[in-house]
Amino acid sequence: MRQFIIYLLMVSFITTTSAFNVLVMNTCLQMFKMYLVYNTDVQFCVNALNSDPRSSNATNRHQLAEISFEMDISKAKSIPIIIDNLLKNTTQEKSLDDCKAMYSFAVVELTAGLEALKAKNYERAIVFADSAVQRAKICQLGLRKHMNMTGVSSLARGNTYFMHLASISASFHFPHN
């Protein structure tokens, strides 16, 4: 039954995705079946990876993983800009400052994860990506008490997106050689 559902999902994606990438689809399906965590679904994985034009030229999972990490780093760098804009308009800075610190650490960890990935130290790379996801979760917890504050819901959406995006990087699996 599960294989049939996966088959239907693949057919659905093929018909709705104009730039269908078999490598992206197969990678996301495998991650979903075996490793993908944090409630990220196959369609999010496919859409996120296909949103980067470099994915269409990727020929293997390692290249897709590098693209994924680079997307994470870019998103992790953009969120503190949103936080800085919110800090200009509030006196409730503690949760926002904490969130900004979490993203500073996430950028460092994801950069180290990308370097580990390039060195083919896959376990280390995944640990760094997972740590970035955990930092986003911590940020989200701090934001919950300020959801009525103007702009925080936008930050929370960006944070949730990052959490799902980084979970893709944390879900790559490379067989041992």
Distances (CA, A) of 119 to 51, 57, 91, 129, 152: 26, 21, 44, 15, 38
What per-residue confidence (pLDDT) applies to 147?
A: 65
What per-residue confidence (pLDDT) applies to 19?
A: 44
Give the CA-trace dihedral at 108, 114, 120, 121, to 10 degrees. Answer: 30
Q: Which of 171, 153, 172, 173 shows the shortest CA–CA distance to 161?
A: 153
What per-residue confidence (pLDDT) applies to 117?
A: 96
Cα 71 to Cα 49: distance, rounded to the nearest angstrom: 9
Altogether, the residues listed in the chain come to a count of 177
What per-residue confidence (pLDDT) applies to 18?
A: 41
Q: Could you state, in chain order, the average pLDDT of each consecutive group of 10 residues for the chain (177 residues)?
A: 58 48 89 67 91 93 95 96 83 80 96 96 94 93 73 83 92 69
What per-residue confidence (pLDDT) applies to 141?
A: 87
Which token pair is 3? 């294989």
What per-residue confidence (pLDDT) applies to 126?
A: 92
Radius of gyration of the chain (CA): 17
72-117 confidence digits (pLDDT tens) = 999 999 999 988 888 887 666 778 888 999 999 999 999 999 999 9
What per-residue confidence (pLDDT) applies to 163?
A: 93
